[in-house]
Amino acid sequence: MIDLRSDTVTKPSIEMRKAMAEAIVGDDIFGEDPTVIILQEKVASLLGKEAGLFVPSGVMSNQIAIKVSTSPGDEIICEEESHIFNYETSAPAVLSAVQIKTIRGNFGIMKLEQIKDAIRPNVYYMPKSSLICLENTHNRGGGSIYPIEEIARISNFANKNKINFHLDGARLWNASIATNISLAEYAKYFDSVSVCFSKGLGAPIGSMILGKKDFIDKAKKWRKVFGGGMRQVGILAAASLYAVENNFEKLSDDHEKAKIFAKIISNSKKIKIQNEKVETNIILIDITETGKSVEENISILKSSGVLLSVGTKKTMRAVFHLDVNEDETKTAAEIIERIYK
């Protein structure tokens, strides 16, 4: 079975497991886990931020950022296909008592002009627009990369209007590799950034929230409130540290596999690639002309040895990662091309 459902399905390598087994650990609640400290300092340095906080998941990192950046009754702005809006179980409403104003972007990319139109007037009977959230790369946008020029424009507007600015950068690593723009260059425009270690980098668990030191001090409190305080977690931090040091550059291979896959299945008649410009490691496959639902198409491919996942209502998603090689990529693409020819 060739598993292209997500880059989260990767398994820790033997070398990563060795790093985990040999990790020096301490009690992280007391701030005494040396491996966690090394990881937090390293990633903060890579992103040019004062501090970072290791957390169990990307959802937690995003939700901590929202909690620290808002007050109950506020409104946050997200793209309508964003992870925060679609895949975080209404957490902003449950945990922070804020509502979400969504904007329809182009493959997940919102323009400054759209955001300006969404900002609430400063009147007492409307919610306060307190946080703008971007996603880079954009999952449901087919791994699209947020243009850094647009990020800079939005950042300048947010700063002038004293609106907090957060980046869901779960796959920011992919954007950096694809564009040769440093993580720090991307991150400098945001008050807070979340990054994930358990997707393309191949760690089994873990994310990080980054920002100024006082922001992270507040984030640490809310991590505890949300149940994310951990003890001898250096075992997991060691996996993330290994992933950053050894697998970051390998993301370019995943991008190349995605392009190979897209080229082969583009010959199919009954399906088409929605994100025709393949920028990173995610492909969205439009199934409208098959006359079947996304779930039915996924079932057909599963019976032929290829696992895909739901992208959007009309698309299947293929995601390339460490545990799928180029030969498997070609085989999966050829199976799909044959089925839909």
The CA-based diameter of the chain, rounded to the nearest angstrom, is 60
**pLDDT tens digits, one per residue of 39-57:** 999 999 999 999 999 999 9
Give the pLDDT of residue 303: 96
- The whole-number average pLDDT for the span 100-129 is 97
CA distance 178 to 189: 19
Q: Which domains does the chain have, with CATH numbers?
A: 14-247 (3.40.640.10), 250-339 (3.90.1150.10)
Give the pLDDT of residue 172: 98
- Least confident range from 21-25, 52-56, 276-280: namely 276-280
> Which tokens sit at 194?
């979340």
DSSP β-bridge partners for residue 150: none
- The whole-number average pLDDT for the span 155-165 is 98
Whether the per-residue pLDDT at 157 is higher than 80: the answer is yes
Residue 166, phi-psi category: left (phi > 0), alpha (psi -120 to 50), beta (remainder): beta
CA distance 215 to 44: 13
Confidence of residue 269 (pLDDT cuts 50, 70, 90): confident
Give the pLDDT of residue 19: 98
- The whole-number average pLDDT for the span 305-329 is 96
- State what percent of residues in the chain have pLDDT above 70: 100
Whether the per-residue pLDDT at 341 is higher than 90: the answer is no
Give the pLDDT of residue 311: 93
CA–chain centroid gap for 268, Å, is 29
Give the pLDDT of residue 34: 98
Give the pLDDT of residue 176: 98
- The whole-number average pLDDT for the span 9-21 is 97
Give the pLDDT of residue 33: 97
Whether the per-residue pLDDT at 276 is higher than 80: the answer is no
Confidence of residue 120 (pLDDT cuts 50, 70, 90): very high
- Residues whose CB falls within 8 Å of the CB of residue 90, separated by 6 or more in sequence, listed in order: none
The helix/strand/coil state of 85 is helix
Give the pLDDT of residue 277: 87
Give the pLDDT of residue 112: 98
- The whole-number average pLDDT for the span 53-63 is 98
Instruction: Kindly list the distances between the CA atom of residue 104 and the CA atoms of 89, 109, 115, 155, 193, in Å, as whole numbers in the listed order.
Output: 20, 8, 10, 19, 22
Give the pLDDT of residue 87: 96
Whether pTM exceeds 0.75: yes
Whether the per-residue pLDDT at 175 is higher than 80: the answer is yes
The helix/strand/coil state of 247 is helix
DSSP β-bridge partners for residue 100: 76
